[in-house]
Amino acid sequence: MDITPDHLILFRWGFVHLNATIVYTWAVMLLLVLAAWAATRKIRLDGPRSRWQNAMEAIVIGIRSQIREVSGRDGSDDYIPFIGTLFLFIAASNELHVVPGWHAPTGSLSTTGALAICVAVSVPIFGIRKVGLKKYLHHYLSPVFFMLPIHMISEVSRTIALAVRLFGNIMSGSMVVAILLVIAPLFFPVLIQALDLIIGLIQAYIFAILAMVYIAAAVHREDEKPQEQTT
Amino acid sequence: MDSSTWIGIISICAAALCMAIGAISPALGEARAIQQALSSIAQQPDEAGAISRTLFIGLAMIESIAIYCLVISIILIFANPFWSHVIAKSGG
């Protein structure tokens, strides 16, 4: 039994091997781009809105309100492209599990690792852009300078945790279904698969919210100081 | 018994133990978190949104410990590196 779609080679051309992860990632990308194109094709502010535009506005407003609740102040529009893309990509690739024969690209540690590294790189970028390089780096030395290795370890471990959490949830979902197909073939796998859809959506939400929490923690470092002094 | 049999026995026992012990403490932790969150929501229904969002994040953090155990067990059973090393060495 394969625990990751990386080993599933779909196409071989010379030394180029296309595995299932890459192909299904492309499928998700194509689907998202086509949906976005179809929704924004005839966008307009006045008059009756099309269904596509209405759905797209609902999604964007929902994501923005969630981001605003975490980041706490205006300026949430800076994060919508990154966080919203993360959420939509993970949610789409998890929910497409209803398509028979689908291998979710998030069930591979390569995909989730890449997404987690994107988050880990974007945190200092957003932080330095907001509070400046000196203030950002100063956080690593607070409260005392020998906390530096601990801050480093926490950055690395939370990135690994982000990747393994998503991978473990999605991979274990399809694995439990495969094992149940052997034990109780008819009814139970359907229920578990329905549960997997919920878990996939929750994990997409959690991945996006955790990325937002990390970014917000890096961005709001400037107001940590006065709070610490007053208490 | 040769070494591959021992590796098989120990891997399966380690996977079972890892999952069994590793599921206990996250279960207790999640139970406490949900209990606290439910009583907080019952006391302050207005804050239900913020409480449940924080609860979800916390649950994901706690749950990831169990997920690490699950990943290690599944690697031990389905993609055991020691097992494949022995199989490759014996030319199987």
Nearest to A93, CA basis, from A114, A72, A66: A114
Least confident segment among A10-14, A23-27, B58-62: A10-14
Q: How far is CA A118 from CA A2, A112, B26, in A?
A: 26, 10, 28
How many CB contacts within 8 angstroms connect chain A with chain B? 45
| pLDDT category of residue A73 using cuts at 50, 70 and 90 | low
Alpha carbons within 13 angstroms on the beta-carbon side of residue A186 total 0
Residue appearing with tokens 């998890």: A94
pLDDT tens for A148-176 read 888 889 889 889 989 988 998 888 888 88
What was the pLDDT predicted at A69? 82
| pLDDT category of residue A226 using cuts at 50, 70 and 90 | very low
- A151: tokens are 């801050």
User: What would the mean pLDDT of B65-83 be, rounded to a whole number?
Assistant: 84
What was the pLDDT predicted at A2? 64
Helices first, then strands: H and E counts in chain B: 3, 0
Q: How far is CA B86 from CA B9, B82, B83, B92, in A?
A: 14, 6, 5, 9
pLDDT tens for A185-196 read 788 888 888 888
What was the pLDDT predicted at A139? 80
B contacts of A3 (beta carbons < 8 Å):
74-75, 78-79
Top mean-pLDDT range of A40-49, A159-168, B60-69: A159-168
Nearest to B71 among A69, A168, A210 (CB): A168
Nearest to B74 among A175, A209, A210 (CB): A175
Domain ranges of chain A: 5-230
What was the pLDDT predicted at A231? 38
Using the Cβ of B21 and the Cβ atoms of chain A, whether some distance falls under 8 Å is answered with no
- Side chain identity at A165, as an amino acid letter? R
Using the Cβ of B24 and the Cβ atoms of chain A, whether some distance falls under 8 Å is answered with no
- A126 in Cβ contact with A219 (< 8 Å): yes
d(CA A92, CA A95): 5
**To the nearest whole angstrom, how far is the Cα of A192 from the nearest Cα of chain B?**
17
Nearest to A178, CA basis, from A198, A193, A167: A193
d(CA A85, CA B63): 24
- A220 in Cβ contact with A76 (< 8 Å): no
Using the Cβ of B77 and the Cβ atoms of chain A, whether some distance falls under 8 Å is answered with no
User: What would the mean pLDDT of A138-150 be, rounded to a whole number?
Assistant: 82
What was the pLDDT predicted at A230? 41
Please list, residue by residue across A5-29, b when 16 or more beta carbons sit within 10 angstroms of its beta carbon and e when fewer do: bbeeeeeeeeeeeebbbbbbbebbe
**To the nearest whole angstrom, how far is the Cα of A229 from the nearest Cα of chain B?**
26
Interface test with A, best of B56, B61, B71, B73 (most A CBs within 10 A): B71
**Mean pLDDT for chain B overall:** 87
Domain spanning B3-89 has what CATH number?
1.20.20.10
Domain ranges of chain B: 3-89
Using the Cβ of A198 and the Cβ atoms of chain B, whether some distance falls under 8 Å is answered with no
- A174 in Cβ contact with A208 (< 8 Å): no
B contacts of A1 (beta carbons < 8 Å):
78
The complex's ipTM? 0.73
**To the nearest whole angstrom, how far is the Cα of B1 from the nearest Cα of chain A?**
26
What was the pLDDT predicted at A227? 45
Angle between helices A20-40 and A51-71 (to 10 degrees): 110
